[in-house]
Amino acid sequence: MYATAARHLREFAQASKYAIDFDTSTPTFGDRYTTYRLHKVKLTDNTVAKQVLTLKRFLRWARDRGYTNATSFDRLTWKRQEPDIMTLTAEEVAALEQLALPSGGYLDNARQLFLLACYTGLRYSDLVSIRAEHVRGNALRLVMHKTRDIVTVPLRPEAVALVAQLVAGELRPIANQVLNRYLKELGERAELAAPVEVVRYRAGHREGETLPKWQRLTCHTGRRTFATLALEQGLRPELVMKITGHKSWASFKRYVNITADVVSKEFHRVYGGGGG
C-alpha cells in the first residue's frame, strides 16, 4: 500500500517539479497533488479520497515515530462519493449455475470460483488461499488477508462441494485479473444483460454510462451478491457482517443492494396487500 503511494508521489514530483518531504506536506501540496491525480491521471473522487487517506496514515505513522512534527496535512480531506453497488439476483446466480459448459474448462473453472464467492462472501484473496486446515466440518475458519481478522464462514451444501474440489486441486485458482476477464465472457454467455448505470464522480462532477450487467462482472461482485442475497433471504444483518468480517454498518452497507422490488415484496409479505 505505502509502496504504491510512494510511486504515485514520485510520479507527481517528476511531473510537477515539486520537492516533496515532510516539511512540504501541507494542504497546498495536497491541493496540487489531488488536482494532478484528478485531471492528469484521470482518477475518480473515490480513488483520490482513498489515496489521500493512505498518505495521511503514512504521515501519522511517521509522526508517531518521531520522523516529523508536521500536522498541517491532517486538515486535507477529499469527499468520497457513495459508489453504485452491482449485485446479481438469485435468478442470475441460477442462470450461471445452469449454464451448459464443458466440464473442467477454463470458463467452468471460473464459474465455480465465482459461485464460491457468491456462496461464502469471501474476497478473492481469501478464496484462492483456502487450504484443508481451514475446513471445520461444514464451515471455514480462516484469517482474512485484508484485515487479519479471524472469521468463521458457514458453508451451504453447494459450497462444501466446491471447497472440497479446491482443496483437492480439482478447482484451480486463477489470477484475479484473468478471472475477471473470464467472468465477463461467462456473464455474456449466461445473458446477464440487464442494464446497469455506472456512475463516477470527478471533482464533484457526475459521469454516467449504461452497460449490460455482464460487462461489470468481477469476482468482488460475488462478495456483494452474497451479502445482498443473505439479507433478502432473511439472515440478520449482524450475522451477515460476522461472516463477511465487516465491523460497522457504514462499511457493510456499501456491499448491499436491496432493490425496490424486493423492498415492496417483503413489505407486503409482512403487512399484507398487493406487491405492486
Q: Which three cell numbers stand for residue 84?
A: 453504485
Q: Are 50 and 157 within one domain?
A: no
Q: Are 71 and 97 within one domain?
A: no
Q: What is the pLDDT of residues 36-69, one digit of tens each?
A: 998 888 888 888 888 888 888 888 888 888 888 8
Judge whether 82 lies within some domain.
Answer: no
The span from the CA of 48 to the CA of 33, in Å, is 9
Number of domains in the chain: 2
Q: What is the pLDDT of residues 228-250, one digit of tens each?
A: 999 888 889 899 999 999 888 77
Q: What is the pLDDT of residues 85-136, one digit of tens each?
A: 899 999 999 999 999 999 999 999 999 999 999 999 999 999 999 999 999 9
Q: Are 6 and 115 within one domain?
A: no
Which domain, by its residues, includes 16?
2-75
Q: Are 159 and 248 within one domain?
A: yes
Q: Are 6 and 113 within one domain?
A: no
Q: Which of 75, 105, 127 is the last residue of a domain?
A: 75
% of the chain beyond a pLDDT of 70: 96
Q: Do the Cβ atoms of 118 and 225 come closer than 8 Å?
A: yes
Q: Are 53 and 127 within one domain?
A: no
Interior/surface letters 34-52, b for 16+ CB within 10 angstroms, e for the rest: bebbbeeeebbbbbbbebb
The span from the CA of 263 to the CA of 250, in Å, is 20
